[in-house]
Amino acid sequence: MNKVWWVIVPVLLILFGLLGYGLTSNPKHIPSPLIGKPFPLIEGMDLNGNKVTLGVVNGKPTVVNVWASWCAACRSEHNVLIRGSRIYGDKISLVAINYKDELVNAKAWLRQLGNPYLWSYHDLSGRAGLELGVYGVPETFFVNKKGIIVEKISAPLTDEQFAAGVELMSK
Amino acid sequence: MKNNIKKIMLLTFLLGISFSAFSKPVDEDPIEREMLDIAAKLRCTVCQNQPVAESHSGLAGDMRNLITEKLKQGKNEKEIVQFFVDRYGDYVLLEPPQSGNGAVLWVLPPLLFLFAALAAVLMMKSRSKSQSTMPPPVLSDADKERIRLARGIDADEKNKS
């Protein structure tokens, strides 16, 4: 009898451990398989109708922020991007993907809150978003000089995350 | 009179269903069917536990459009599913992959079942062993007397009722 319990108890403990891990981890956090992969070169138009290509911009490490005027969390995140562009502006390129947004709304949004981006790729259909595994705005990609995605944040960016991302990109 | 009403009702009914003879079979776009088959295997990443085929979220709609587009380009199911896995990870698959981390999910339940069965067999064996090694109870004369008495009273009570 006792011998059997020596086997049953550890197995139960392992099971409870796994259950506990599963129940306490965040089901909304999806690890991105894109980290370590090259950022796909996607061509399109910016909000002003100029041709732009996503990827490494101006030969500098590039931060690509995905935003939309209908996204409430983007509004709270916006100041972090404005501060970030002031601090790291000469070291990095900050561009954006304007995700499934009307041109008028997007432009009004930037006029009202300030425009920290070199340009915003206009992704009206959400096609570029799918190409990049975007599932909710805001999301931010950190791309190093070689065009490799070194970090992806799928939540409103914080100052700390911005700094850490810049650090990772310059390695 | 009643018969007539019945006849009229029957005729009306037959007339009603006769129109279906002129209907055309529904044209089903084979690509649409294939698209839905693929979309049924993909998880809508914003709704966590709903396949892309059933979700009304904007993202799922975009994903369905992209699947249709890729099918029209001649891509097969495997390539399309891989496209989403490359970008969204294994998470996008409703059925976990049978290799890598996903293998644990497939192997663990049968293993647990085997383990439980083994434990049950061992327990039953040890139980039957301990019973067979126990000596049969020895009854003293006083015990036997008490048993006889108890049985006798029982029998008496049954007779009374």
Residue-wise pLDDT tens digits, A96-135: 999 999 999 999 999 999 999 999 999 999 999 999 999 8
Locate the chain A residue with the closest alpha carbon to B57: A135
Distance from CA of A2 to the nearest CA of B (A): 10
Q: Class of the B27-92 domain?
A: mainly alpha
Residue of A30, A125, A131 with shortest CB distance to B91: A30
Locate the chain A residue with the closest alpha carbon to B89: A33
pLDDT digits (tens, 9 = 90+) for B23-68: 777 777 888 899 999 999 998 888 778 899 999 888 999 999 999 9
Contact B59 A125 (CB under 8 A): no
Taking contacts as CB-CB distances below 8 angstroms, the residues of chain B near A128 are none
User: CA A112, A113, A114, A119 torsion: positive or negative?
Assistant: negative
Contact B87 A33 (CB under 8 A): yes
Name the pLDDT band for B105 (thresholds 50, 70, 90).
Answer: confident
Which residues are within 8 A (CB) of B130 and not within 5 positions of it... i.e. 6 or more apart?
none
Name the pLDDT band for B151 (thresholds 50, 70, 90).
Answer: confident
Domain range list for chain B? 27-92, 96-129
Of A146, A133, A157, which Cα lies nearest the Cα of A56? A146
Contact B87 A125 (CB under 8 A): no
Taking contacts as CB-CB distances below 8 angstroms, the residues of chain B near A125 are 62
Name the pLDDT band for B160 (thresholds 50, 70, 90).
Answer: low
pLDDT at A103: 95
pLDDT at A6: 81
- Mutate one of B88, B107, B114 to test the A interface: name it (highest A CB count within 10 A): B88
Contact B58 A1 (CB under 8 A): no
Phi, psi of A99 (to 5 degrees): -95, 120
pLDDT at B156: 58
Distance from CA of B62 to the nearest CA of A (A): 7
B46-52: long-range contacts, CB 8 A cutoff, minimum separation 24: B46/A135, B46/A136, B48/A27, B48/A28, B51/B94
Return the number of other C-beta atoms located less than 10 Å from residue B76's C-beta. 12
Contact A4 B122 (CB under 8 A): yes
Classify domain A35-170 at the CATH topology level: Glutaredoxin (3.40.30)
Contact A127 B126 (CB under 8 A): no
Contact A133 B88 (CB under 8 A): yes
pLDDT at B132: 63
pLDDT at B101: 76
Name the pLDDT band for B154 (thresholds 50, 70, 90).
Answer: low
pLDDT digits (tens, 9 = 90+) for A62-81: 999 999 999 999 999 999 99
Q: HSE on the CB side for A82, CA within 13 Å?
A: 11
Contact A1 B45 (CB under 8 A): no
Distance from CA of A154 to the nearest CA of B (A): 12
pLDDT digits (tens, 9 = 90+) for B107-118: 888 998 998 898
Taking contacts as CB-CB distances below 8 angstroms, the residues of chain B near A26 are none
pLDDT at A159: 95
Helices B58-72 & B30-39, crossing angle to 10 degrees? 130
Start-end of H helices in B26-101? 30-39, 58-72, 77-88
pLDDT mean over A144-163: 94
Distance from CA of A99 to the nearest CA of B (A): 11
**Structure token digits, residue A1:** 């009898």
Q: Does B57 touch chain A (CB under 8 A)?
A: no
Contact A132 B87 (CB under 8 A): yes
A81-84: long-range contacts, CB 8 A cutoff, minimum separation 24: A81/A116, A81/A117, A81/A157, A81/A162, A82/A113, A82/A114, A82/A116, A83/A159, A83/A162, A84/A116, A84/A157, A84/A159, A84/A162, A84/A166
pLDDT at A43: 94
User: Percent of chain A beyond pLDDT 90?
Assistant: 78
pLDDT digits (tens, 9 = 90+) for A46-66: 999 999 999 999 999 999 999
Contact B89 A32 (CB under 8 A): yes
Q: Which ipTM did the prediction report? A: 0.81
Higher pLDDT, A7 or A111: A111
